[in-house]
Amino acid sequence: MAIKVLILEDELPAQRLLKETLEELNIEIDVLDCLNSVQSSVEWLNKNPHPDIVLLDIQLSDGISFDIFKQVKVDSMIIFTTAYDEYAIQAFKVNSLDYLLKPIEKDELETAFQKFHAYNKTFVQEQNTSIDFTELASLISSQKTEYRKRFVIHSIESFFHLPIEDIAIFYSTQGITFAVTFEKREYPVNFSLENLKEQLHPDNFFKINRQFIVNIEAIKRVHSYFNGKLKLEIKPLHAEDIIIGKDKAASFKRWMDR
């Protein structure tokens, strides 16, 4: 039986990308509707049976999405789709509530959906009732995300700071992550690419795949590649081709056009 999903997202490109990504999952999914406001969401939930899962952006066109829960008792598993720092959301570790940081990746979305099969409806309803959405809204409203400004680079006898704007790409090989500067100097950093994705400003850096994160200032040109993929021409040149998969091509183009 298909998992019934409701998407609450105020940006049309993000709505389309979510639907396209859902279609690529190895899961049978039925998207019931896409809504962009608190008001339309409340009206829909009052008139229709609640879906299995709600994909919920925190900021909607007419306010914070937590206002929905002040007006409707939602009986669905909630997965937040957000650009806010994950550590704020982690303060509310509830099994029936998950979060995905934008830009949302296919494997992360699939993992979140797999959680649905682990919980029955009664458990989800009880957990949703126990969440203090007022406190969560207050936390989100007061939060100002701080992104990394520099790295401390250590050598055998000394260390120095490396400004984030000097870094063209990060890449990972054999379990080690390197920062590559525009002057083509390489330095190891003690973070995985997934950790770095959370620390870097999303306007400036994009996680291309499991091997690369690129600074927008490093991109000279983007070339069409086979099967809907894209190939980056960057400065400085890198020994390996930097390829964007078909599943990320659309979100990458939107990121470039911000």
Question: Are 109 and 35 part of one and the same domain?
Answer: yes
Q: What is the pLDDT of residue 170?
A: 97
Question: Are 12 and 126 part of one and the same domain?
Answer: yes
Does residue 135 have a pLDDT over 70? Answer: no
Taking phi first (over 0 means left), then psi (-120 to 50 degrees means alpha), and beta for anything else, what does residue 175 get? left
Question: Are 164 and 115 part of one and the same domain?
Answer: no
Q: Which of 61-65, 86-90, 112-116, 157-161 has the lowest mean pLDDT?
A: 86-90
In this prediction, residue 124 has a pLDDT band, given cuts at 50, 70 and 90, of low
Across the chain, the runs of DSSP E, i.e. the strands, are 3-8, 29-35, 53-57, 59-60, 63-64, 77-82, 97-101, 150-154, 159-163, 167-173, 176-181, 186-189, 205-207, 212-215, 219-224, 230-234, 242-244
Q: What is the pLDDT of residue 145?
A: 63
Q: Structurally, how many domains does the chain consist of?
A: 2
User: Which residue among 101, 116, 142 closes a domain?
Assistant: 142
Does residue 118 have a pLDDT over 80? Answer: no
Q: Which of 80-89, 91-100, 116-125 has the lowest mean pLDDT?
A: 91-100
| Better-scored residue on pLDDT, 202 or 232 | 232
d(CA 232, CA 129): 47
Sheet holding 205-207, edge to edge: 186-189, 176-181, 167-173, 212-215, 205-207
CATH assignment at residue 72:
3.40.50.2300
d(CA 165, CA 108): 28
Query: Which domain covers residue 207, as residue numbers?
Result: 150-256
Does residue 15 have a pLDDT over 90? Answer: no
Question: Are 100 and 80 part of one and the same domain?
Answer: yes
Does residue 180 have a pLDDT over 60? Answer: yes
User: Which residue among 96, 120, 142 closes a domain?
Assistant: 142
Q: What is the pLDDT of residue 115?
A: 77
Question: Are 13 and 137 part of one and the same domain?
Answer: yes
Does residue 172 have a pLDDT over 80? Answer: yes
- Which range, 14-18, 103-107, 153-157, 159-163, is most confident? 159-163
Question: Are 114 and 169 part of one and the same domain?
Answer: no
CATH assignment at residue 182:
2.40.50.1020
Please give the average per-residue pLDDT across 27-42, as a whole number. 93
Question: Are 63 and 154 part of one and the same domain?
Answer: no
Q: What is the pLDDT of residue 94?
A: 39
Mean of all residue pLDDT scores within the chain:
83
Question: Are 11 and 132 part of one and the same domain?
Answer: yes
With CA atoms as reference, report the closest residue to 222 among 197, 183, 249, 240.
Answer: 249
Provide the sign of the torsion angle of the four alpha carbons 29, 34, 37, 41, taken in this order: negative
User: Which residue among 142, 176, 205 closes a domain?
Assistant: 142
Question: Are 33 and 133 part of one and the same domain?
Answer: yes
The set of long-range contacts for 230-234, using a CB threshold of 8 Å and a minimum separation of 24, is: 232/208, 234/168, 234/169
Does residue 89 have a pLDDT over 60? Answer: no
| Better-scored residue on pLDDT, 26 or 95 | 26
Please give the average per-residue pLDDT across 54-81, as a whole number. 85
Q: Of all residues in the chain, what percent are helix, strand and coil, respectively (each to 5)?
A: 40, 30, 30
In this prediction, residue 151 has a pLDDT band, given cuts at 50, 70 and 90, of very high
Does residue 32 have a pLDDT over 90? Answer: yes
| Better-scored residue on pLDDT, 143 or 19 | 19
Q: What is the pLDDT of residue 91?
A: 44
For residue 21, report the phi and psi dihedrals to the nearest 5 degrees.
-65, -40
| Polymer length in residues for the chain | 258
Question: Are 40 and 136 part of one and the same domain?
Answer: yes
With CA atoms as reference, report the closest residue to 204 among 245, 143, 147.
Answer: 147
Q: What is the pLDDT of residue 62?
A: 86
Amino acid in the structure at residue 239? A
CA atoms within a 13 Å half-sphere pointing along the CA-CB vector of 68: 29
With CA atoms as reference, report the closest residue to 139 among 215, 195, 80.
Answer: 80
Q: What is the pLDDT of residue 96?
A: 41
Please give the average per-residue pLDDT across 70-85, as a whole number. 80
CB 186 within 8 A of CB 225: no
Burial class (CB in 10 A: 0-12, 13-18, 19+), 85: middle
Angle at 132 between CA 131 and CA 137, to 5 degrees: 120
Q: What is the pLDDT of residue 129?
A: 58
For 198-208, write each residue's pLDDT tens digit.
889 888 999 99
Question: Are 8 and 132 part of one and the same domain?
Answer: yes
Question: Are 136 and 154 part of one and the same domain?
Answer: no
CB 7 within 8 A of CB 31: yes
